[in-house]
Amino acid sequence: MSVTAIIAAAGSGERFGAGIPKALIQLGDRTLLQHAVASLAPVVDQLIISAPAGYEQQISELLGEGVTVVTGGATRSASVRNALALATGQYVLVHDAARALASTDLAGAVISALKSGESAVVPAVAIVDTIKFVGTDNYVASTLDRTSVVSIQTPQGFLTSALREAHGAGGDATDDGALIEANGGKVKIISGEDRALKITTAADLHTALGFLGFDSTYRSGIGSDAHAFSVGRQMWLAGLFWPDQDGVDGHSDGDVAAHAICDALFAATALGDLGSNFGTDRPQYAGASGVQLLQETLAIITTAGYSISNVTVQIIGNRPKISTRRAEAIAAISLSLGGADVSISATTTDGMGLTGEGKGIAAIASALVFKR
């Protein structure tokens, strides 16, 4: 009696607004998707991930062997259908990557209910707010009896044949249970759990960190860097290549924004600085790119039990013009830092000093982190 798990991870995370798919956002020591995989893997025989288009290979590499990755669809239901087509288990669990912390025990309870004869099982928790129907005129039409209303979670479990039939008409719903209901099927409710909350906004990520034992002791740090322009070298800045611009001196790519952020993170976590972490001790990083150093810095501070609240960097120089590529630069740095909240500003120095005289470029960064 084999079980397939489908993890819907193809959403863009619009409401979270990280600039990368929500499933790839870092929560503690791993991404939301990796948390979801880790909790389902012990109790299922097959794992299929529905990935955002363009991220299939990255997700495949992130999760390694034993996981099938398919391209998601335009809606959650379409993403589930794409994975369902490859399901070989007699039972199937459908789970949201966004509910990263749902426990293995919860998945086990869903499977137990299926094995005891249910054909559709969904976890639920009580609602704390009063729920009202509202008319289009913005007046209350009626108030529901709160004791008979619940909030639905995932993983949801189904007889695979029943879920295939429910999806057969190509319907669209925000959960799979609703498609079974629409098809006339019975959906069994079991107890859900608070930690299976759906991570939708940055505040939810914070709540989830609480479940992982992170506290709210914040630490801040600053970092700065400067390099002289050098004719004929490539310009790398804020994780981006800037064609038609001369780069800077140095044996790295000279990305002052990335270097300043790394130093700010090391300062906030009291883990030394760029030199002590990537200097003589680890010569393999001598010529590393700014993006590589950001990724490696994230790995170091994560191992030490820290999580990033936000980082901000100000680039100081006459060129290049940052504002034209600000969103792209924020996305590149955020991606290197596991989806961290990043902001970038730029300024000039009124013709004065190293940067004002056009001799080079500098950056100053701050970081806020908190510890587990």
> In degrees rounded to 5, what are phi and psi of residue 117?
120, -5
Q: Is 94 in the site for ligand CTP (CB under 6 A)?
A: no
d(CA 123, CA 188): 8
Q: Is 90 in the site for ligand CTP (CB under 6 A)?
A: no
Bridge partners (DSSP) of residue 69 are 49
Q: Which stretch binds ligand CTP (CB under 6 A): 68-76, 143-151, 231-239, 348-356?
A: 68-76
Q: Which of 34, 79, 156, 297 touches ligand CTP (CB under 6 A)?
A: 79
- The interface partner of residue 60, options being ligand CTP, Mg ion, none and the CB cut-off 5 to 8 Å by kind, is none
d(CA 264, CA 259): 9
d(CA 100, CA 155): 10
- The interface partner of residue 50, options being Mg ion, ligand CTP, none and the CB cut-off 5 to 8 Å by kind, is ligand CTP
**CB 62 to ligand CTP: min, Å:** 15
Q: Is 54 in the site for ligand CTP (CB under 6 A)?
A: no
Q: Is 14 in the site for ligand CTP (CB under 6 A)?
A: yes
User: 10 Å Cβ neighbour count for 351?
Assistant: 10
Residue 62 contacts residue 100 (beta carbons within 8 Å): no
- The interface partner of residue 97, options being Mg ion, ligand CTP, none and the CB cut-off 5 to 8 Å by kind, is ligand CTP
* Residue 371 host element (H or E): strand 360-371
Q: Is 76 in the site for ligand CTP (CB under 6 A)?
A: yes
Number of C-alpha atoms within 13 angstroms, CB side, residue 246? 13
Q: Which is nearer to ligand CTP, 26 or 50 (CB)?
A: 50
Contacts of 348 (CB under 8 A, 6+ apart): 316, 317, 318, 355, 356
Handedness of CA 277, 258, 221, 206 (dihedral sign): negative
d(CA 251, CA 356): 24
Q: DSSP for 107-167? A: HHHHHHHHHTT-SEEEEEEE--S--EEE-TTSSEEEE--GGG-EEE-S-EEEEHHHHHHHH
Bridge partners (DSSP) of residue 218 are 370
Q: Which stretch binds ligand CTP (CB under 6 A): 92-100, 142-150, 237-245, 346-354?
A: 92-100
Q: Which is nearer to Mg ion, 15 or 321 (CB)?
A: 15
Binding-site size for ligand CTP (CB under 6 A) equals 23
**CB 65 to ligand CTP: min, Å:** 22
- The interface partner of residue 22, options being Mg ion, ligand CTP, none and the CB cut-off 5 to 8 Å by kind, is ligand CTP
Q: Which stretch binds ligand CTP (CB under 6 A): 3-11, 142-150, 232-240, 299-307?
A: 3-11
Handedness of CA 214, 15, 24, 265 (dihedral sign): negative
Contact string (CB under 5 A) for Mg ion, positions 10-49, x = contact: -x--------------------------------------
Q: Which stretch binds ligand CTP (CB under 6 A): 7-15, 120-128, 285-293, 307-315?
A: 7-15
Q: Which is nearer to ligand CTP, 13 or 89 (CB)?
A: 13
Q: Which stretch binds ligand CTP (CB under 6 A): 15-23, 129-137, 209-217, 364-372?
A: 15-23
Pick the closest to residue 87 from 164, 168, 177 (CA basis).
164
Q: Is 9 in the site for ligand CTP (CB under 6 A)?
A: yes
Question: Where does this chain bind Mg ion (CB under 5 A)?
Answer: 11
Question: Where does this chain bind ligand CTP (CB under 6 A)?
Answer: 8-16, 22-23, 50, 72-76, 79, 96-98, 198, 200
